[in-house]
Amino acid sequence: MCRHLAYLGPPVTLRSLLYDPPHSLVRQSWAPRDMRGGGTVNVDGFGVGWYPGTGRPGGDDGRGGAPVRYRRAGPIWSDPTLPELAGVTTSGAVLAAVRSATVGMPVQESAAAPFAEGRWLFSHNGVVRGWPDSVVELAGGLPVRDLVTLDAPTDSALLWALVRHRLRAGASLAEAVTTTVRQVAAAAPGSRLNLLLTDGVSVVASVWGHALSVRADDGTALLASEPVDDAPGWREVPDRRWVRAGPDGVHVGELE
């Protein structure tokens, strides 16, 4: 299973999130602690998305606060560019992921999270069981245009299209994530649906079939598949919950 993380708080370097911690995301790509049978290493691509400038809507960066992404199809540890980039790039809102492709799914840059549109960044850790037949009917509710322009022929890309469809219709981050997880879980029992979605101000995650830990204090929140260090304050979110972290603190709700 892929590993992902999201950070909200005072601007920090990408390096301090991706490389510096003892159990950083880069380390998790080759030595994850907890894969639950979903592969062994996370070698099939990676991505990091961050909000430049103030990171706030209508921010001062000339991009309306939209995030920037850096993704590649290979292992994060062998990327020659990211260490330098991460050392000089600071942001107060970051979403990053390392990918272990599900058997049968292509290894290509466009299949690596974060998926993005406008201010949104999205990641999925897990698998849709019975893919693709189990979710054909759900997918049929999407505009044909969305289906013929899926980022990649993967379960994660379809989940993103389902979440994005709701966001475009005005749903909150939490509504988009929780409704999608419930519907896909009903259509494809046994799926692992660990989603991560941010707009740069708040982040919402679902815990469905795999682990998620949260560390939050004084205006800083870090959500990660595996804690990046042994510092006190990490809290593991129980299965079948959703979490929202943002300016109003951390909220945990039930998914069923």
Residues 101-130 that bind ligand GLN (CB under 6 A): 101-102, 105, 111, 124-127
212 Cβ partners below 8 Å, 6+ apart? 194, 205, 223, 224, 225, 236, 237, 243
Cβ(19)–Cβ(83) below 8 Å: yes
* Beta carbon nearer to ligand GLN, 22 or 106: 106
24, 29, 91, 154: which one binds ligand GLN (CB under 6 A)? 154
* Beta carbon nearer to ligand GLN, 96 or 101: 101
Closest CA to 14 of 106, 56, 102, 76: 76
* Beta carbon nearer to ligand GLN, 53 or 153: 153
Instruction: Pick the stretch among 23-31, 100-108, 165-173, 231-239 that binds ligand GLN (CB under 6 A).
Output: 100-108
Residues 224-253 that bind ligand GLN (CB under 6 A): none
The alpha-carbon radius of gyration of the chain (Å, integer) is: 17
Residues 4-43 that bind ligand GLN (CB under 6 A): 38-39
What is the closest distance, in whole angstroms, from the C-beta atom of residue 2 to ligand GLN in the complex?
Answer: 3
| 3-class state of residue 58 by DSSP | coil
* Known catalytic residue at 2: yes
Instruction: Pick the stretch among 52-60, 99-107, 114-122, 229-237 that binds ligand GLN (CB under 6 A).
Output: 99-107
Residue 247 backbone phi and psi in degrees, to 5: -60, -25
* Beta carbon nearer to ligand GLN, 66 or 157: 157
226 Cβ partners below 8 Å, 6+ apart? 3, 23, 28, 32, 33, 34, 211, 213
Q: Which residues of 92-102 are buried (b: 16+ CB within 10 A; e: fewer)?
A: bbbbbbbbbbb
Taking the CA atoms of 205, 207, 213 and 215 in sequence, report the sign of the dihedral they define: positive
**What is the total count of residues that contact ligand GLN (CB under 6 A)?**
17
Catalytic residues: 2
Q: Which residues here bind ligand GLN, judged by CB under 6 A?
A: 1-2, 38-39, 99-102, 105, 111, 124-127, 154-156
